[in-house]
Structure formats: structure tokens, C-alpha cells
Amino acid sequence: MLKSTGIATKEDLEKVIPPKERLARGPVAIIECFERIPCNPCYTSCKRGAIKEFEDINDCPKLDYDICNGCGVCISNCPGLAIFVVDETYSESEALIKLPYEFVPLPKEGDFITGLDRAGKPACRAKVIRVQNSRAQDRTPVVSLAVPREFSMVVRSMSLDDYYSDNTIVCRCEEVTLGEIREYIRKGYTTVDQIKRISRCGMGPCQGRTCTPLIMQEISRATGQSIADLKTPTYRPPTVPIKLGQLTGGENDE
């Protein structure tokens, strides 16, 4: 799959994501390098010796999670932009992701931007905590993003557009904005069912296909609950809107 899509698969990632216990101890590098090529600057840049010496320069790097302290020097040194540092202990509900970013303009510290997944799809809102762009980075700036913790292994790039701003329409059927959802959550409507009933989000023709995951993300962010623990509303028939005339069996539609 990697060869045809350029996107690492779950199996690929399982080989490089550190165990839970290590992630719980603080920052650590994640080297998402799966292609055998003659390249070893990660090894030479790591002063702690956490990246093991290459037997063959074509090998993929091997990281000793216990030696790595997540300093992030290797990030800018990787020509393939394949190295990230993730700190899952950053805050109560957030993780910090350090990623290489070679586009201009660079974001500013404090900006809210959109975290993208490995396929470039918007994943969540993220706050820019730090932008490192000194000589040490050698024109491969490193951006530190705070993201909801469940996105620590999802976000690997960013868009400067703040898709998750207050003005973003969350529910296209009923034209409800993210700002309105945030307001409901602040007022104590903290389950998808409660928000659906007060705002109509999810009652339109799409039956919540777009808004439900976005609302869950927002509830998770505001309350610190994991998305996996949130209850979804009941999905009801029909899947697609049907004309009443069709229900009687009397008419065909396109």
C-alpha cells in the first residue's frame, strides 16, 4: 500500500510507534521511515545514540525508545521529513506533536491551525506552541502543535487554515456553526443527544453523518472524555431520504 499511496498503513505504523508505557513517560521520537534507501543522517545526528548504527546504509532506522529523550534534533536532519516527536504527557487532555514543516509562510506561536492526518485530511484543531527555525534546523523548521490526545498518532501535518474556528459550519443541513456547538457545551449540553435536541444537528437529511463526529470531537476537547467513551445517537431508517410516493410502491425515482 505504501508504494502505491505513499501513506503508511496501520501495520507499518505498528512497527515504529513506541509502546504505551514509553509514551506515558514523556516525549519520544517516532520515525515513520519505511523505504529502504541509502540514507542515515538520523543516526549521525542523534548525540545520545538512541538511533542504532546502521549495518547497511540502506536499512531503515531503529530507535531505542529508552535512550531517546525526545529532544527532536533528528527531526530537521531527516531529508524525508519522516521523523516526529510526540509527548502524550503534555497536558491533561492534549499531546504535543513536533513536526517538520517546510512551507511558507510559517505559522506563529499561539495560532490555531488545522492538524492534518497522513493523507492530508483535516483531523482536528491544533494550537501552535512553538516554531523553531534557527540555524540548527537548517531551513527545515520544526513546529510544535498541541492536539487533543487521541490525535497524537493521527496528526502528521498541518494547514494554516483554521477549519475548526467558531464560524465553521458543523451541520450543513441545519446550518449550525462550531461556535454555537461550543456555546451549548459551555451551557452544559455535553452529550451528542442533548446537543442534537437543542440545536437540530443531526436531524436533517444527512442524519448526522457530517456533524456527529465533529460534535463528538468538540465534546471530547471540552470535557476531556475520550471519543471512544461518548455515546452516539441512534441511527434510524432510511439511509437516504425517500419520497412518500415511493414508499407506497407507486412511483419510480431517478
Partner 1 sequence: MMNKTADAVIIGGGISGCAIAYNLAKKGMKDIVIVEKEYLCSGATGRCGAGVRMQWGTEMNCKLAKYSIEFFETANEELEYEYDIEFKQGGYLIIAATEKEVNQFRKNIALQNSLGIPSRYITPLEAKEIVPHMDETKILGAAFNPKDGHLNPFHATQAYANAAKRLGVEIMTYTEVTGIDVENGKIKGVQTDKGYISTPVVVNAAGGYSQLIGEMVGVEIPVFSERHQILVTEAVAPMQGPMFMSFSQNIYCQQTPHGSFIMGRGDPNEPRDLRITSSWDFLEEMAKTCIKFLPPLKDLRMVRQWSGLYNMSPDRQPIYGAVKEVDGFYLASGYSGHGFMFGPVTGVVIAETILAEEPTIPVHMLGIDRFEKGELILEPSVV
CA 34 – CA 250 distance, rounded (Å): 57
What part of residues 162-191 is at the interface with partner 1 (CB under 8 A)? 191
Q: Does 204 engage in binding with partner 1 (CB under 8 A)?
A: yes
Nearer to partner 1 by Cβ, of 121 and 243: the residue is 243
CA 248 – CA 32 distance, rounded (Å): 56
Q: Does 66 engage in binding with partner 1 (CB under 8 A)?
A: no
In one letter, which amino acid is 145?
L
Binds partner 1 by CB under 8 A, chosen from 198, 223, 224, 226? 198
Q: Does 251 engage in binding with partner 1 (CB under 8 A)?
A: yes
Angle between helical axes of 192-199 and 211-223 (0-180°, round to 10): 120
What distance lies between CA 148 and its chain's CA centroid? 8
Residues 206-245, mask of contacts with partner 1 (x by CB under 8 A): -x--------------------------x-xxx--xxxxx
Q: Which three cell numbers stand for residue 77?
A: 536532519
Name, in order, each residue with C-beta under 8 angstroms of 65's C-beta and a sequence gap of 6 or more. Answer: 18, 19, 22, 28, 50
Nearer to partner 1 by Cβ, of 127 and 209: the residue is 209
What are the residues binding partner 1 (CB under 8 A)? 191, 193-194, 197-198, 200, 203-205, 207, 234, 236-238, 241-245, 247-251
